[in-house]
Amino acid sequence: MRYAVISDIHSNRHALKAVLTDIRSLKIDEIICLGDIVGYGPTPKEVFEAAYNNIHHFLLGNHDAVIAGIMDPGCFNDNARRLIEWTGSVLDGATGKFFRTLPLVIEGSCFRCTHGEFA
């Protein structure tokens, strides 16, 4: 099994599109996203939809956790907080519900992944 591991997309549609194109050219079997699908960038809806339709395994990132309502945006700096609050205002409740289902760790037969650190 060949995996591609991506992370910290942060609502950047152009970057995600380029990475997915590259991954397809490499004949990867499955894609793992280590979190932070949304946050900062201007296209959270489009990025979430593209990620949902193309990525096989997801981990919860801290920006995703704010959208899920399980992390306080007050722990972010002022700019990041304003951006994640704006992101939450343009996403629907189904996105937060999806993020609430995501694990903090994914383990395979010879690997273990998380968004930040295992602690």
Alpha carbon distance 75, 84 (integer Å): 11
Q: What is the pLDDT of residue 117?
A: 80
- Mean pLDDT value of segment 47-70: 98
Give, in order, the Cα–Cα distances in Å from 42 to each of 46, 75, 102. 9, 21, 23
Q: What is the pLDDT of residue 59?
A: 98
In tens, the pLDDT along 31-54 reads 999 999 999 999 999 999 999 999
Asked whether the predicted pLDDT for residue 12 surpasses 80, the reply is: yes
Record the tokens describing residue 92, joined without a space.
């629907």
Q: What is the pLDDT of residue 109?
A: 87
Q: Which 3 state secondary structure label does DSSP give 50?
A: helix
In tens, the pLDDT along 76-113 reads 999 999 999 999 999 999 999 999 999 999 998 899 99
Alpha carbon distance 77, 44 (integer Å): 20
